Copies of this chain bind each other. A is one copy, B any other.
Amino acid sequence: MGNELLIGKTLNTNAQWLARRATNLGLNVKRTTVVGDEVDEIAAAVKEAVERRPKFIIVTGGLGPTFDDKTLEGVAAALGTELEENEEALNMVRKRYASYVAEGRMEKFEMTPHRVKMARIPRGSSPLPNPVGTAPGVLVKQGDVSLVMLPGVPQEMAEIFDESVSGLLRGIAGDATFYEASLDVSGIPESELAPTIESVMHDNPYVYIKSHPKAAERVPHLELHFSTMSKDSKMARQRLGRAILQISETIKEKGGKVRPVKG
């Protein structure tokens, strides 16, 4: 979320970080969306996401004290509810500023309207403690869909995720884990390798293979990425190993070079 992404000022590292974490927890990330800091835009994007009935929606950014931190207003509108001052959230914000005073980072503090704002969360939701910043995260359920709102500051997002969100995702995901490996392939154009990828995927139904061409060079050069989800790490590695072996042999037959990419 946020204008800084839509003007290309900021690279969306939060989306990558969250996608990585969720995938490693065994979830299947279906979509990511970025909208600007406007209530209608946020509400529309959240409503559309809820209507796709995923198990989980994670929203980042827009929880802070400034006028354009509008995420919770947008989420409340999407869920057909309203913001209300939450006592638990208010205590979290108050304790955080009190700790700043105790540490000598601030002389004194007042619970100004801009600070109280961070404790105004959608009716029926719960605050999630922020170990490194002032704005709490927020968890709310709409039917079978859980929504989590996290701050946009990467460190705050990460800490709340690891402390309060990853356990929830693990519960949803079940026991399966994501496994992957990569090969660096040179000397064969992607278009020549395309039918081989298809036939190796056909022979290895649990392995997904995706080719990533490198920037134009004189010698064709690409990365082949292999992934699988499994409850059993030994089986996962066997599946990946078998697909890698099979494709490597074909690449060498065709005169290409292949080497593993260190993870």
- Residues of A near any B CB (own CB < 8 A): 2-13, 15-23, 29-37, 41, 45, 48, 64-68, 100, 103, 105-106, 112, 114-115, 118, 132-134, 153-156, 178, 180, 189-195, 197-198, 201, 208, 210-216, 218-220, 225, 227
Contact = CB atoms under 8 A, between A and B. Distances in A.
B4 A225 contact: yes
A178 to B, nearest CB: 7
B35 A34 contact: no
A34 B36 contact: no
A41 B35 contact: no
A191 B31 contact: no
Nearest to A45: B31
13 contacts: A6-B32, A7-B20, A8-B17, A8-B23, A11-B12, A48-B48, A66-B210, A67-B198, A68-B210, A100-B189, A118-B191, A134-B189, A154-B215
For this chain, the copies found in one complex come to 2
Contacts of A4: 210, 212, 225
A67 B194 contact: yes
B35 A6 contact: no
A215 B154 CA distance: 7
Contacts of A106: 189
B32 A33 contact: yes
**Closest A-B pairs by Cβ, 3 of them:** A8-B20, A8-B19, A65-B191
B11 A29 contact: no
A212 B62 CA distance: 11
Given A30-B36, A41-B30, A194-B65, A216 B8 contact: no
Most B CB contacts (10 A, CB to CB) among A18, A23, A45, A118 go to A23
